[in-house]
Structure 1
Amino acid sequence: MARWASFPHAGEFDLDTDEVQRRWTRLHAGDAEPLPQSAAVLEAWRLFHRGEFQQAAEAGARAGGPGELAAIKATCIHASYLENKEKARLELFLDASHRAEAYARREPSCANAWALHGYALGRYSQGISVAKALAQGLGGKVKESLERAIQLQPRHADAHIALATFHAEVIDKVGSLIGGMTYGAKKDTGLKLFEEGLRLNPNSIIGLVEYANGLVMLEGASRMADATALYERATSIAPMDAAERLNVTLAQAELAD
């Protein structure tokens, strides 16, 4: 495995195992992942929350089982925020989507496997262009996996946000008529999913950012003031781990634009 870029705020989240366990409910308010019973799996998540994403991916793969979920999520976060080469980023998302799908097929009742498949494939689709992804039939797979995750775990806030983003992206690219008839994307559904995701996890920094982006995609420039308020709210939340710290940086960049 090539050396991944380092988390740019090393040492900011110097979490030990006890601290991760104490913070677990807040750290996983978005994905409702159960507290691991395995020390090896917990260690993979500890590395993830510290921002040691490559080490987390390697530790999760070694641990196997639920540890693979930590490995997949670490891969997705690294690809989203720290990988500068577009080809490598797309390869990471595609690999993560394949691994998550394989896990979901082995463990069909695992909500997070379906959610990570939808998330990784959705990010890959954004990278190759939403229009191209829809033409390849990827949109239906993204939607199906995220809907499955929500059916299995109705409190999965991240899956609500990711599915809302799907609706917004599709409508933004192909319009409401084709989006609804061909891909099942609906404006009202997207807005409700954003709202439910944030009801479930009000401190979701990435949820606030995605909702802001989605408002503009779904309702146009008339909602820019509301979007700006959401970005500002996102930047005001104190991040609890490295992934949230990267989300704050994203929100700050959106505000600057």
Structure 2
Amino acid sequence: MAKWTAFPYDNTAYQYDVAALKKHWARLHAGDAEPWPKEAAVVQAWIHFHAGEFHKAYEAGLAAGAAGTTVANKAQAIYANYLEKKEQTKLEMFLEVAGRAETQQADDPKNPNAWYWQAYALGRYGQGISVTKALAQGLGGKIKGALETTIKLAPKHADAHIALGAFHAEVIDKVGKLLGKTQGADLATGLAMFAQAVKLNPTSAIAMIERANGLVMLEGDKRMKEAETLYADAAACEPLDAMECLDVELAREELDE
């Protein structure tokens, strides 16, 4: 595999030891509802992840076997989304995550993040090749189904609510409300998903960013003011780890443009 780009910001504040990670775990994982790991090797992989050492987290996760699949998938997916420069490599990484998550579903069907990371990876892949193309390939139903399964298994999974809101918004934005219905996309459901995500994880910069984008996609310019406020709130968030730092920096870049 190609060399991974290093996390580009100071990560001093995100280097947790086991005790500190355990203390902050609930807040750090309010988005993905991931339980505290039973295996020391998996804890170590998460320590790498939160510090922005995504390649180390990916390798340590894979080395830890089935219990490390989720951290490996999250590390690779977040890295690909934010830091991978080559478009082709990024798309390949997303497909790899989706494939691993599908295998994980077969082995551990009640694991919410086995479904979530498949949906996330396919969703980002779809954005990369174009949403219209992804829908034509039948990815829409797969993404929607995996996210609904995630929420059924973990009703407090804020990130799945965000992603499902984004699914409804992207589809309606690209093909319109009428054609969107054939893909199972619905304006009211999209808005409700975004609202629930922010309720479940009120300090999440990415929830604010995706909700801002979704409001404009679903309801146009009349929601622009609200979207701008959400971006400003996201930019003012205090990140607790490397992933949150990347979310906050994304909001700041958008505001500067």
TM-score normalised to structure 2 length: 0.98
1:111 aligns with 2:112: yes
User: What is the Cα deviation at residue 66 of structure 1?
Assistant: 2.4
Q: Name the amino acid aligned to 2:254.
A: E
- Is this contact kept in 1: 2:15–2:47, CA < 8 A? no
- Distance in 1, matches of 2:26 and 2:154, equals 15
Amino acid corresponding to residue 58 of structure 2 in structure 1? A
Deviation at 1:11, TM superposition (A): 3.1
Quote the residue 1:251 is aligned against: 251
Q: CA deviation at 1:102?
A: 1.0
Matches within 5 A, 1:73-152: 73-152=74-153
The corresponding residue for 2:216 is 216
Shift of 1:101: 1.2
Please give the root-mean-square deviation of Cα atoms over the aligned residues, in Å: 0.8
Partner amino acid, structure 2, of 1:107: D
Which residues in structure 2 correspond to 1:113-192 (within 5 Å)?
A: 113-180=114-181, 182-192=182-192
The Cα shift of 1:237 comes to: 1.1
Using the alignment, how far apart are the partners of 1:11 and 1:135 within structure 2?
A: 41
**Cα-to-partner distance string for 1:148-204 (whole Å, 9 max, x where unaligned):** 000011000000000100000000000001101x10100100000000111111011
Which residues of 2 match residues 218-237 of structure 1 at below 5 A?
218-237=218-237
**Cα deviation per residue 1:63-103 (whole Å; 9 max; x = unaligned)?**
01221100000001100110011001100111111111110
Q: Is residue 121–residue 142 contact of structure 1 (8 Å, CA) maintained in 2? A: yes
Task: Kindly indicate whether residue 214 of structure 2 is the aligned counterpart of residue 198 of structure 1.
Answer: no
Tell me, in whole angstroms, the C-alpha distance in 2 between the residues paired with 1:113 and 1:204: 22
Counterpart-to-counterpart distance in 2, 1:238 and 1:97: 30
> What are the superposed Cα offsets for residues 9-38 of structure 1, whole Å, 9 maximum, x if unpaired?
143322222211110000000111000110
Q: How far has the Cα of 1:143 moved from its partner? A: 0.3
Matched residues in 1 for 2:156 and 2:67: separation?
19
Task: Please give the residue correspondences for 1:24-103 in structure 2 after superposition, counting only pairs within 5 Å.
Answer: 24-103=25-104
Whichever residue aligns with residue 102 of structure 2, its letter is: E
Identity across the alignment (%): 55
Secondary structure, aligned partner of 2:66: coil
Whole-angstrom distance in 2 between the partners of 1:220 and 1:66? 43
Aligned residues: 256
Task: Give yes or no for the alignment of 1:241 onto 2:245.
Answer: no
| TM-score scaled by length of structure 1 | 0.98
What is the CA–CA distance in structure 1 between the aligned matches of 2:210 and 2:161, rounded to whole Å? 11
Distance 2:147 2:232 in 1: 28
Paired AA for residue 88 in structure 1: T
CA contact (8 A) 1:101 1:113 kept: yes
Contact 2:11 2:242 in 1 (8 A): no
Task: Point out where structure 2 has 5 or more consecutive residues left out of the alignment.
Answer: none
Q: Where do 4+ consecutive residues of structure 1 move more than 4 Å?
A: none
- 1:10/1:51 contact within 8 Å kept: no
